[in-house]
Amino acid sequence: MPITDKPFIGNPAGVCILNKPADEKWMQNVAKEMAVSETAFLYPENDGYKLRWFAPDAEVDMCGHATIASSHILWEKGFEEKEETVKFFTKSGLLTATLKGDWIELDFPELPVKETEASNGLLEALDVKKQLI
């Protein structure tokens, strides 16, 4: 489903709702056949859904638009009540989706901030001189 209200634009994603886990090779082949940037595979788990995303050539760790598509389908097809927050258990941690009017709000896991040195190439491209403190 494309994430837009206009035809032929947006970022489409496939959504495959399963009853139980599927074979990884099968999911990869389905994603290849779907030929969209990502296909989401989900099945009920605990009080939410196990969610995995596959591009045509490999599994990916995170995909926002396929998560939006998955939550939309769950609400629109009556798998979940529209007032309920949907929980997704993923390789990247717990993700949640909540319907806010016509919008879907996603809550992604927070990654810890870590300080890192800027590369000389980046500093050069930004025309910034490195300062020692």
Q: Which of 77, 76, 98, 72 is nearest to 87 (CA)?
A: 98
SS3 34: helix
What's the Rg (C-alpha) of the chain?
19
Structure tokens, 107: 């809550």
Beta strands per DSSP E along 24-115: 38-45, 48-54, 59-60, 86-90, 93-100, 103-107
Positive or negative, the CA dihedral 19, 24, 30, 34 is positive
- Residues with catalytic function: 38
